Amino acid sequence: MKLVVAVIQDEDANKVSSELRDKDFGLTKLASTGGFLSSGNTTLLIGVEKEKVDEVLDIVRANCQTRKKHTSATLPSAYTATSGYIPRSIEVLIGGATVFVLDVDKFEKM
């Protein structure tokens, strides 16, 4: 047995969760926060037999697209003596998924 831990953007969470449920994969959905932009993520915990890991990964891959986002950042090069750091708009790539596949030594459902 394997545990697939998928960290995905909130915008993609419903699509991924729905398709996994439609294909009879059980999952636990957790709210999480990304470190870089402190934006909302969803972490899915999916217990699956080893033979079905690729199917889960295909579903995640098909439904988690990267996109560009504009955000503000305070950059040291934008420092002025009167106002401190001035926020600048930067474009970052967000989305996609970060996925971990872990071995499960024991599984019990109680």
Does the residue 108 lie in any domain?
A: no
Does the residue 109 lie in any domain?
A: no
pLDDT in tens, 45-98: 999 999 999 999 999 999 987 777 666 665 555 555 555 566 667 666 566 789
Question: Does residue 33 have a pLDDT over 90?
Answer: no
pLDDT in tens, 71-86: 666 555 555 555 556 6
Which domain, by its residues, includes 63?
2-103
Q: In degrees to the nearest 10, what's the CA dihedral of 25, 19, 45, 95?
A: 160
What are the tokens at 81? 């003596």
Does the residue 57 lie in any domain?
A: yes
CATH number of the domain to which 68 belongs: 3.30.70.120
The pTM (predicted TM-score) of the whole model is 0.74
